[in-house]
């Protein structure tokens, strides 16, 4: 009887151990994948290119007093900036202010060194899918496009924001 | 909750869906972008990159220049070198005039780091955009994948010619010559006006990858989209001057929700 009890205990203990290893074994990656919020995360979602992984937690800007108009309050409305002559054409923007903040910046004019009319061309690229572009409805969260960081853009925008200043 | 500020000469938009959204979070993200702008803006005489370019123009020893760099500047220069390698030399921070311009990579890097600030603060559902380059996380306000429009490069209105849905924390970046004339050049052929392709959108596992590959592949002209096709974890949508778009094979999965 004692022998049976002992061997049952050993079998049970072994089964418990296997179960334990199994659960821990599958759980570990999950623990890593969902780190506790607020804990500085090390490198899991950060790609392997190394740099600046742990500097995220203490990104104290070095110069606090950056001259910027961003924190100012603006009057609500639409403000059209000056037309600025960039060497490749004109740039003019409109700033939309709502609730005292900039909510959108739109182009009224920008250089068009490309032809406006789009010729439909069905020239096929080898093995990649080609299609003629067509306008879709604009119901999206946000838009991806080439950046507008030219000096002319900055100038037109700052003239628009100057009008919006309280 | 969405806020926009003009930093780095471009609208930076931060949208936080989580209910914990508060002004402090927004300020922290915007402050980080301002810090990056102060350091890397070639438009600012006071920036570190301008100081480096001054030294370079005066013919100072490159070893001295590199030795005196701040930690973040070094990181960006190292990443630039790495990017030059993996794009077969098509990405280069040395401009035709011989000065350094890190803007082809630093915006994506800044968005990536800004997104990690939000993640570190426990925010799960958000979208950070700077000048048309975007990092999404989690879901949008409706609880759906983030919907992103690719801008029509032929129209000055913010018209959309393709919609993509990002539900797996992707980054999306677009390179083009249509907004500010030719600001990307082919480092291997200074006379190449890169006129064939007007817009190249790249979706990657994060905005840093998407942005640097979009810039590098754009400089390859018509070959750019094939380069993107050859890379795992990257998909692309290129539009040529005739209004014909070419997409990588895996791009299809982003078109349908």
Q: Each residue of B73-110: pLDDT tens digit? A: 999 999 999 999 999 999 989 887 888 999 889 999 99
Residues of B with Cβ-Cβ distance to A57 under 8 angstroms: 120
Contact state of B201 with A56 under an 8 Å Cβ cutoff: no
- Is the domain spanning B2-254 CATH 3.10.520.10? The answer is yes
Give dist(CA B26, CA B196) in Å, integer.
40
Contact state of B174 with A113 under an 8 Å Cβ cutoff: no
A62 against B36, higher pLDDT: B36
Contact state of A144 with B146 under an 8 Å Cβ cutoff: no
Residue A42 pLDDT greater than 50, yes or no: no
A32 against B53, higher pLDDT: B53
The confidence score (pLDDT) of residue B80 equals: 94
A131 against B69, higher pLDDT: B69
Give dist(CA B256, CA B80) in Å, integer.
34
CA distance, residue A27 to nearest chain B CA (Å) = 21
- Chain A residue with CA closest to B196: the answer is A114
Residue with the two structure tokens 């280069």: B92
Residue with the two structure tokens 């119901």: A139
Is residue A70 within 8 Å of residue B6, measured between CB atoms? yes
Contact state of B5 with A125 under an 8 Å Cβ cutoff: no
Contacts of A128 (CB under 8 A, 6+ apart): B225, B226, B229, B246, B247, B248, B249
A127 against B152, higher pLDDT: B152
Task: Supply the ipTM of this predicted assembly.
Answer: 0.86
CA distance, residue B75 to nearest chain A CA (Å) = 5
The confidence score (pLDDT) of residue B211 equals: 95
Q: Which of A38-52, A129-143, B8-22, B208-222 has the lowest mean pLDDT?
A: A38-52
CA distance, residue A22 to nearest chain B CA (Å) = 29
CA distance, residue B200 to nearest chain A CA (Å) = 9
Contact state of A86 with B180 under an 8 Å Cβ cutoff: yes
Contact state of B245 with A133 under an 8 Å Cβ cutoff: yes
- Burial annotation B149-160 (CB, 10 A radius, 16+ → b, else e): bbbbbbbbebbb
Give CA torsion, residues B137, B125, B168, B251, to 10 deg.
-70
* DSSP single-letter state for residue B204: E
What are the sequence ranges of the domains in chain B? 2-254
The confidence score (pLDDT) of residue A20 equals: 58
Give dist(CA A45, CA B39) in Å, integer.
26
Contact state of A144 with B151 under an 8 Å Cβ cutoff: yes
- Chain A residue with CA closest to B149: the answer is A143
Which of A66, A132, A161 minimises the CB distance to B38?
A: A66
Mean pLDDT for A125-146 is 80
pLDDT confidence tier of residue A11, bands split at 50, 70 and 90: confident
Mean pLDDT for B207-220 is 94
């Amino acid at each position: 009887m004692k022998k049976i009890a002992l061997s049952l205990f050993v079998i049970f203990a072994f089964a418990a151990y296997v179960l334990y290893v199994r659960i821990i074994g599958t759980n570990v990656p999950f623990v890593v994948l969902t780190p506790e919020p607020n804990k500085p995360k090390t490198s899991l979602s950060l790609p392997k290119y190394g740099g600046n992984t742990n500097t995220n937690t203490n990104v104290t800007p070095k110069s606090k007093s950056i001259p910027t108009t961003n924190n100012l309050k603006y009057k609500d409305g639409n403000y059209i900036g000056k037309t600025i002559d960039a060497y490749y054409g004109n740039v003019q923007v409109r700033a939309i202010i709502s609730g005292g903040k900039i909510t959108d910046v739109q182009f009224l004019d920008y250089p068009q060194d490309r032809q406006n009319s789009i010729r439909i061309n069905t020239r096929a690229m080898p093995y990649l899918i080609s299609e003629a572009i067509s306008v879709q409805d604009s119901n999206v969260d946000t838009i991806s496009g080439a950046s507008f960081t030219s000096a002319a853009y900055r100038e037109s925008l700052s003239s628009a924001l100057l009008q919006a200043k309280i | 909750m969405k806020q926009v500020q003009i930093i780095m000469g471009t609208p930076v938009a931060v949208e936080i869906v989580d209910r914990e959204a508060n002004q402090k979070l927004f300020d922290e993200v915007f402050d980080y972008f301002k810090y990056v702008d102060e350091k890397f803006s070639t438009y600012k005489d006071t920036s570190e990159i301008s100081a480096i370019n001054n030294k370079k123009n005066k013919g100072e020893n490159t070893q001295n220049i590199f030795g005196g760099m701040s930690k973040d500047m070094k990181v960006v220069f190292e990443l630039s070198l790495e990017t030059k390698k993996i794009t077969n030399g098509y990405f280069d921070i040395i401009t035709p005039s011989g000065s350094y311009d890190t803007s082809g990579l630093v915006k994506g890097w800044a968005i990536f780091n800004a997104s990690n600030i939000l993640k570190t603060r426990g925010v799960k559902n958000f979208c950070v955009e700077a000048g048309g380059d975007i990092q999404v996380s989690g879901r949008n306000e409706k609880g759906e994948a983030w919907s992103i429009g690719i801008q029509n490069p032929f129209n000055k209105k913010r018209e959309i010619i393709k919609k993509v849905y990002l539900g797996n924390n992707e980054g999306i970046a677009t390179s083009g010559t249509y907004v500010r004339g030719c600001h990307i050049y082919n480092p291997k052929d200074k006379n190449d006006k890169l006129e064939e392709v007007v817009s190249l959108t790249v979706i990657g596992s994060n905005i840093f990858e998407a942005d640097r590959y979009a810039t590098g592949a754009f400089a390859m002209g018509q070959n750019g989209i094939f380069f993107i096709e050859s890379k795992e974890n990257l998909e692309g949508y290129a539009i040529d001057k005739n209004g014909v778009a070419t997409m990588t094979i895996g791009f299809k999965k982003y078109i349908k929700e």
